[in-house]
A and B are shown apart, each in its own frame.
Chain A
Amino acid sequence: MSTETKKRTVKTINIDADKCNGCRACEVICSSFHAAPRYSSNNPARSRVRVVRDPLRDIYIPLYAGDYTESECMGRDKFIIDGKEYDECGFCRTSCPSRDLFREPDSGLPLKCDLCDGEPEPLCVKWCLVGALSVTEREVEEPAEETKRGELEIGLESLARRFGADKLLDTVAQITKGR
């Protein structure tokens, strides 16, 4: 095993929900930045950050779009913090079939926050003048991978892990014999 490490920058968006004023400027600029051509349109329904906002219950949660999942969780979770009850899956970032959040309104394709790739800082942070959103960067050291593995290699390895190497070999042999 190599002991070499390499540096990677991790960006963290700090969400100070107490400072959120519920204005949704983050949604506006996000959807505008990601429009094609850039800034040509805006539509909060396409935004990769959404403010879960319920003023009468004092709930203000800017929520970022995370990974896509094909299938929803078996259960649901509901948080109650300081007596405030948050919606089911209220803090979950996933683009999930259980809800219409973080999916393109027309095509249904999933959306994911890319931290405004190419910009000096995520634009939601820039547009949040009330200071609810800020970004910090830190460098983490990670062991360098010796070789970059290809798709097939990764796929085969996971199949081997799941079904066992023997079964995998047998199956491959069977399929190839048939040809």
Chain B
Amino acid sequence: MRYAETGYVLEVDLTKGNIERVATDPRDTELYLGGLGTNAKMLWDRVPADVEPFSPDNLLIFAAGLLCGTPATGCNRTIVSTISPQTRLMAFSMMGGFWAPELKYAGYDKVVLRGKSEKLVYLYINNDKVEIRDASHLKGKGAIETAEIIKKELNEPRAQVAAIGLAGENRVFYASIEQGRSSASRGGIGAVMGDKRVKAVVVRGTKDVVVAKPQEYMDLCSDVLDYIKHREENPIPDVMPILAGLGSPQEMKVHDEKWHTENFNWGNARTRRKDFWTEEVDHAWAETMEKARTRLISCYNCPMKCGATISMEGLPTYMMKCFTKLTYTMAAYSDLDFGLRIAQKATEYGLDGFSAPQVMAFALELLEKGILKQSDFPGMPEDNEGKFFYLLDKIVNRDGIGDILADGTYWAAEKIGNGAHDFAHNNIKKHEQLPLKLSMLNPIYYLMYCTGEKINITQIEGQFPQAPYPTVEQREAFVKDWIQVPDDKFKDIFLQWEPRGEKSMPNFPTVDMCCDIVDWQEMMHYIDDALGQCAGLSSFPLKPPYHIHNYPKFISAGAGIEMDKEKLTKAAKRYRTLVRAINIRRGMRRVDEQPPANHWKNRFPELEKNLLDSYYQLKGWNEDGIPTRETLEDLGLGYVAAEFERTGVYGGSSAQPASAPRQQETLNVGGVQP
């Protein structure tokens, strides 16, 4: 009997049109939990280093986390994993919404797409009945539009649809997969879906999800609900409002955008506007939002209202969450009205709201500097907003200059040459970052930016306050009910941490302390991604309801796997290391692990080297960031060490991606079910 998980994955070969329901090995659940963990195992086993992102041999895995579909509040995330066309590394993207629980109710933990369809198709999973259906009538349709059409034609209003728009169909390197109010956007996974010619994956399920120890599990769930209520009634004092509560940053609810608009950079991550937020702007933007926002909405089984339905006059309704509210506005030096209008179009096209606006601002900067010519933009309107709409269409159609820009700033600069690389200045591992430019190095964030393989700061930060509290009394009050810390040493660090003087940044927290803090922060994100828990109730906010002390109990009572803090910590380390191994195999090295050069003005090279050296050591990686044989063997990843040795990964300084022999026959499956 399998608990919490179904024990089955759907293997879909798009080339052959073959669909199989395959039982998985319960031992893998114990070792890698589920979601991201087992996805990583699958990618390691089945996608060797020489497989191109757009190869039929690349896998596109849609996974429901281990606890998705159980009553655990907020446990609804779909973890989509593949090899990214943009970073050429393992892509990380998750989406909330309603898709993952529905997949569990249909009787599967994952959908694994391989091969490539000849024609545009969509996959329809309805419990035991799974079909590959023609999607030629959906070609060019918006992602939300597609979902509506499919639900209607199937007469299944309760089906959940994950779809791509035109951007995915045309393999834009930052194309997203959209699903109702959510999207999996980072890393261009929508492009891989488009490359496989899959317009949508549709799922409907009416089966049970079973837990191992019912009463125990329900008690844990009730405790979480009570704690959420407690946190809603007691916001964290002395931090800015968006960090005081739970959930994603409450961008749809909160009108005050002083902090974002004055601290984040505008244009191509260039200009900080310190006096932007006037009363006038405040009024105008609040009015825009009030008029546009129909309702604050949630993902499956979650009381946090991080999303909203947005209806701009004359445009179809769409759903939005979080910071896409401002990315287009700020890239174009415009206002919220423009931002919400262009986001409607971009959502239907299916684009990452972080990368797309930066790419457009980058293009306009190149034009301004004469690196691109006016003739590269035939028929472009004069006004800034018009230019953005123009570029949006060019990019998703891969038309003219849009074809180059569709590969993101890094690859576009490569093609454009002529100094364009200086303008693709806000990337880590070839991927556009939040538009933040600051003065004093923050050693904790330095480590997170360098080593985060999810390549988005929001997917590694959290738990630990971003800044010290001025008074000892405030700090003491904060640590008093800080039950989430894995160890009391984190309380001590926070108590000692001062805004200035000897015990302030960059010297305090000390190197070792920074390493411990980052290790904890990252671990919580990795656990969330295996369980399917939204970071908004766990790894991202301060004092979340889920933490290292109750997670083992959730896994024991839910999945029926004996678990404690040590075992869970080790499991998380295991698949976190496996993710690194996948990327190391694809050529990633220490040299790739650095923040954008201009992220901080005041840098400390010696300290930074010390930080990275120490962090690698804590993680059990060598000085080049490669997990050592001892580390791998201790984690039961001897097979990784063996391949590293066979292919010369440890051997010397050559950073050549090692190519491994194909091992399709080592499919990690327990047997094919009738």
Contacts and interface: CB of A to CB of B under 8 A. Distances in A.
Q: Do A and B form a real pair?
A: yes
B610 interface: no
B645 interface: no
Contacts of A44: 105
Interface string A102-132: 0001000000000000000000001111100
A168 interface: no
Interface in A34-64: 35, 37-46, 54-58, 60
Contact of A54 (B157, B229, B316, B318): B157
B69 A42 contact: yes
Contacts of B296: 21
A45 B206 contact: yes
Given A38-B215, A40-B211, A41-B211, A32 B71 contact: yes
B543 interface: no
A90 to B, nearest CB: 11
B180 interface: yes
Interface size range of chain A in the complex: 20 to 34
B437 interface: no
B317 A129 contact: no
B485 interface: no
B70 A42 contact: yes
A29 interface: yes
A123 B215 CA distance: 15
Nearest to A39: B214
B652 to A, nearest CB: 54
A23 B298 contact: yes
A35 B180 CA distance: 29
Contact of B309 (A45, A56, A130): A56
A65 interface: no
A21 B214 contact: no
A111 to B, nearest CB: 13
Nearest to B303: A129
Contact of A43 (B73, B207, B294): B207
B301 A25 contact: yes
Contacts of A32: 71, 218
Given A25-B302, A129-B228, A130-B303, A42 B209 contact: yes
A25 B73 contact: yes
Contacts of B297: 21-22, 55
Contact of B301 (A28, A37, A46): A28
Contacts of A41: 208-211
B214 A105 contact: no
B526 interface: no
Contacts of A35: 208, 214
Contacts of B300: 23-24
Interface in B218-260: 218, 225, 228-229, 232
Interface string B8-24: 00000000000000000
Contact of B180 (A37, A55, A128): A55
Interface in B354-380: none
Contact of A21 (B98, B180, B305, B316): B305
Nearest to A87: B157
Interface in B277-305: 294-303, 305
Contacts of B64: none
Contacts of B228: 129
B215 A129 contact: no
A40 B301 contact: no
Contacts of B209: 41-43
A28 B209 CA distance: 11
B118 interface: no
A23 B206 contact: no
* Residue among B206, B208, B229 with max Cβ neighbours from chain A (10 Å): B208
Contacts of B301: 23-25, 28
Contacts of B215: 38-39
B105 A45 contact: yes
Contact of B105 (A23, A25, A43, A128): A43
A126 B209 CA distance: 21
B298 A21 contact: yes
Contacts of A38: 214-215
Contacts of A58: 294-295, 309, 317
Nearest to A105: B206
A84 to B, nearest CB: 11
A55 B214 contact: no
A22 B148 CA distance: 17
Interface in A1-32: 21-25, 28-29, 32
Contacts of A46: 208
A39 B217 contact: yes
A141 to B, nearest CB: 36
* Residue among A23, A57, A87 with max Cβ neighbours from chain B (10 Å): A23
Nearest to B316: A56
B104 to A, nearest CB: 10
A40 B71 contact: no
Given A21-B305, A55-B319, A58-B309, A39 B148 contact: no
Contact of A55 (B105, B181, B207, B210): B181
B229 A129 contact: yes
Nearest to A51: B158
A24 B105 CA distance: 14
A40 B210 contact: yes
Contacts of B98: 24
A40 B214 contact: yes
B343 interface: no
B96 to A, nearest CB: 11
B267 to A, nearest CB: 33
B533 to A, nearest CB: 15
B109 to A, nearest CB: 16
B406 interface: no
Interface in B174-223: 180-181, 205-211, 214-215, 217-218
A95 to B, nearest CB: 15
Interface string A82-103: 0000010000000000000000
Interface string B68-82: 011101000000000
17 contacts: A21-B305, A23-B303, A28-B301, A39-B214, A40-B210, A41-B211, A42-B70, A42-B209, A54-B157, A55-B180, A55-B319, A58-B295, A105-B206, A128-B303, A129-B229, A130-B303, A130-B305
Question: Closest 9 CB pairs between A and B?
Answer: A45-B206, A129-B303, A39-B214, A41-B208, A23-B298, A105-B206, A21-B298, A40-B214, A39-B218
Interface of B: 69-71, 73, 98, 105, 144, 148, 157, 180-181, 205-211, 214-215, 217-218, 225, 228-229, 232, 294-303, 305, 309, 316-319
Interface of A: 21-25, 28-29, 32, 35, 37-46, 54-58, 60, 87, 105, 126-130
Given A40-B211, A42-B208, 19 more contacts: A22-B297, A23-B300, A24-B98, A28-B301, A38-B214, A40-B210, A41-B211, A42-B209, A55-B180, A55-B297, A55-B309, A56-B316, A56-B318, A58-B317, A60-B295, A128-B303, A129-B228, A129-B232, A130-B303
